[in-house]
Amino acid sequence: MQVFIIDDEPEISRSMAHIIAPFKLQTSCFNHTATVLSAMKETPPDLVFLDYRLGSESGLALIPLILQENPSAYIVMMTAFASFEVALEAMKLGAKDFLKKPFSLEEVEIIVKRFTELSNLKNRLKNLEEEYGTDQILLESKNPKVKELLRLAKKAAQSQSVVLITGESGSGKTELAKAIHSWSCRQQFPFATVACPTLSADLLESELFGHVKGAFTGAVAHHQGRIAKCEGGTLFLDEIGTLPLSLQPKLLRFLQDFSYERVGDTTTHKADVRIIAATNADLASLVRQGVFREDLFYRLNVIELHLPPLRERPEDIEALSQIILLKLCKKHGRAPIRLTQTELRSLSQHPWRGNIRELHNTLERALIFSNEGEPLQIHYQPSLLPTQSAPTIQVGGPHTLEEVEKAHIEATLARLDSIEEVSQALGINPSTLWRKRKTYEEQARSVFPGDDSKVGTPSSDPGTMH
């Protein structure tokens, strides 16, 4: 990586270059604009220390020219005339940091260290995206169980067998299913997801197998169904444990000989589609309860892959947090932020009952409510999940109406992005939904009185990069 030090005082440039030398970065020093412009054409810089005053010229004019050659260049503005206005103008033009003269060489060392750590994170993110795909980068792990799981998943991907992924909600089952598809010979063909708990039995049957015009009220046109649309590819059935009993024989038949009929049609169709299913429930227990067919259970459970919850892989929390935050900064158009050790310790001590999904949401919330140049403030929300996996709520099962309602509301909250969308999907107004969520949170606190649901305090660690 190339470092430019642009300052009209040669002694300062030489001292800075001496401090940067141990980082094994290629460093070049310049004292006026003309030589910088010609050097940039040969090798655009990655890190730039830029003086505000270059003789009679302003260093601010160089910022857009540098970014034109390398849009991701990390520019640090240096000036003895430090003021809020100068810093703001530099940041608006694209500078990422600021040094007020006179500064210590230790300050320079800290900035270079931040830059190299961020560059390493970016390279790691790029490598993960190349290996797993942009949506599955969170699968990499230092945990022995997860590493063995990924090894088995890559072997399973080369087969045509049904795969059953088990694990708690938010642990990464969908990401693993997508990865198996991307590692398989079907990667050039469609991948689709059907969330079984979100549709009624009739709608789910139509969504899976399709229907013909006039099959039922509202069927004004033919509908292929997800199976037909995934020809040659992979269909992921999420939360298969909630599949209605009435549909289980049809899925069993498809798994046996890949044949099916659309709703309202007697014509038999065939499709070359691989099925991957996932559940956070104990299917064997559901079989014993009589709400899941035993023959379907054995047909699905050819290859079982179990994803451990995040609390059982604490060694992954730091790396996951850094990668998630880097992706979130990119998504929201924010300057990259590196989490401090104080923040990482706080994240590592949280129970994460919502697993990776909860970690992702916590970091996104912290980023959205933070301002440029300020440390993140980590807010932990009270969990609605018990320490043990809750039993799957099955419509028609031995559950109260309140339990069924709560399960449906929580599933809809997990599926949709906003309170407005959830309210519309449930057919209730937002204030009613808010009251019900408040009730669930109070119930959760009564079950887990020791949970730390307080707002995290801002970190004062000087290593935070903004």
Identify the pLDDT of residue 444: 57
Which pLDDT tens digit goes with each residue over 248-295?
999 999 999 999 999 988 899 999 999 999 999 999 999 999 999 999
Here the CATH number for the domain that contains residue 154 is: 3.40.50.300
Are 72 and 151 part of one and the same domain? Answer: no
The residue ranking higher by pLDDT, 44 or 334, is 44
pLDDT tier, 144 (very low <50, low <70, confident <90, very high otherwise): very high
Domain presence at residue 363: no
Decide if 347 is inside a domain: no
pLDDT in tens, 366-411: 888 887 656 677 877 765 544 444 455 666 666 778 878 888 887 7
Q: Which residues, at least 6 apart from 300, have a Cβ–Cβ distance to it below 8 Å?
A: 162, 164, 240, 255, 275, 277, 283
In this structure, what CATH number is given to the domain that contains residue 11? Answer: 3.40.50.2300
**Which CA distances in Å does 167 have to 110, 150, 310?**
41, 14, 10
pLDDT at 448: 41
141 and 124 both lie in a single domain = no
pLDDT above 90 for 105: no
Statement to judge: residues 271 and 213 lie in one domain: yes
Domain limits for position 78? 2-129
Q: What pLDDT sits at residue 36?
A: 85
Q: Which of 112, 129, 146 is the last residue of a domain?
A: 129
Is the domain of 179 the same as that of 92? no
Q: Is residue 362 part of a domain?
A: no
146 shares its domain with 285:
yes
Two structure tokens written together for 241? 């444990």
Confidence of residue 133 (pLDDT cuts 50, 70, 90): low
User: Which is more confident, 442 or 331?
Assistant: 331
Task: Let me know whether 49 and 163 are in one domain.
Answer: no
Q: Which one is predicted more confidently, 84 or 54? A: 54
Please indicate, yes or no, whether residues 108 and 232 belong to a single structural domain of this protein: no
Q: Are 191 and 234 in contact (CB under 8 A)?
A: yes
Q: Are 320 and 356 in contact (CB under 8 A)?
A: yes
Q: Is residue 466 a part of any domain in this protein?
A: no
Does 289 lie in the same domain as 238?
A: yes
| Residues 46, 112 within the same domain | yes
Average pLDDT in the 226-245 region? 94
Which of 129, 160, 182 is where one domain is finished?
129
Give the pLDDT of residue 303. 96
In this structure, is residue 273 part of a structural domain? yes
Domain boundary among 271, 289, 306: 306
256 occurs within a structural domain: yes
258 lies in a domain? yes
Q: Are residues 300 and 173 in the same domain?
A: yes
Percentage of the chain lying above the pLDDT 90 cut: 31
Rounded to whole angstroms, the Cα distance separating 248 from 271 reads 18
Q: 196-226: per-residue pLDDT in tens?
A: 988 888 889 999 998 888 777 777 788 889 9
Number of domains in the chain: 3
**Are 152 and 301 contained in the same domain?**
yes
Same domain, 77 and 155: no
In a domain, 40, yes or no: yes
